[in-house]
Amino acid sequence: MNKQVLPIFILLMLLCGSCQLPFFEKDFEQAPTTGKLREDIELLKKYMQIDKGLNRYVVCITEEERLEEGISEDNLKYMLGNVAELNKRISESVKKGEVVTLYLFGEDAFEAYTINKPDISEIDFEDVYIPAKDKVQTRAATLGYAYFNQGNWGSTNTMFEGSDHVTSALSVNSSTGYWKVSFSCYTGTTAYGSSFSAYGTGHTGGSIKRYWWWTNGGSAPFRWRFVLGGPPGGEANGNIFFTNT
């Protein structure tokens, strides 16, 4: 049996953008059922890829695959519109010259792609993904902490003392759409520069680790300061832990 391709207007929503608002800007009556939407987002991620040539997310799923996965047609239309809006935001960030990282999480896969990466030859560490089953976090090891709930930060900055190398670990526990987590370090830098700006959708399943270096000299204990960016959106819930590397 030949696979039936999704209606062309759905694909156009993805390729050309959409007038749909992200979920966190919709009225409740217009929004899909939250529980089912979260399930369908995770299913759809199996059919998502990062297009490194166009700096965007792409979705390729047939009608037959949608039915096999049990993804609601209404949810699919909403999610494709959400991805189109996400790609628009990414394009705006890239045009501004921001260093942007795109993440894609699957059951057994993790992909990261950084755009506008600075040329810092002496620092060459990539982000590391730690699956949920391997994630170990204790209060004793935590130097700094920040969290977000329903798409909004619970604080504005975090300051702490630590060694000359610290690690940030980002976890997104749930979301009903795409999110953007951003924060800046005022005391150190990474292989990607002094700002962290990451996009994704759904939950991370584990945590993303990024390594930071103190660059202003001095002696231990070093004082670190991270300032959080705009709200993550997507009704996302999660946190960031900072520990000594």
Tokens 């370090």 locate to: 185
Q: Does domain 118-244 have CATH number 2.60.40?
A: no
Give the separation between CA 134 and CA 213, rounded to whole angstroms.
24
CB atoms within 10 A of CB 112: 17
pTM of the model: 0.80
Stretch(es) of the chain classified as CATH 2.60.120: 118-244
Alpha-carbon span 185 to 90, nearest angstrom: 21
Please give the Cα distance from 181 to 185 (Å, whole number): 14
Quick one: pLDDT at residue 136?
61
Q: What is the pLDDT of residue 137?
A: 57
Q: Encoding tokens for residue 60?
A: 């390729």
pLDDT given for residue 87 in this prediction: 96
- What is the pLDDT, as a whole number, of residue 1? 42
CB atoms within 10 A of CB 87: 23
Amino acid making up residue 41:
I
Check residue 180 and give its pLDDT. 95
The per-residue pLDDT string of the chain (245 residues; one tens digit each, 9 = 90 and over) reads: 444 434 333 333 333 333 333 333 343 334 556 788 999 999 999 999 999 999 999 999 999 999 999 999 999 999 999 999 999 999 999 999 999 999 998 776 789 999 998 876 566 688 889 887 776 655 558 999 999 999 999 988 899 999 999 999 999 999 998 999 999 999 999 989 999 999 999 999 889 999 999 987 778 889 999 999 999 999 999 999 999 98
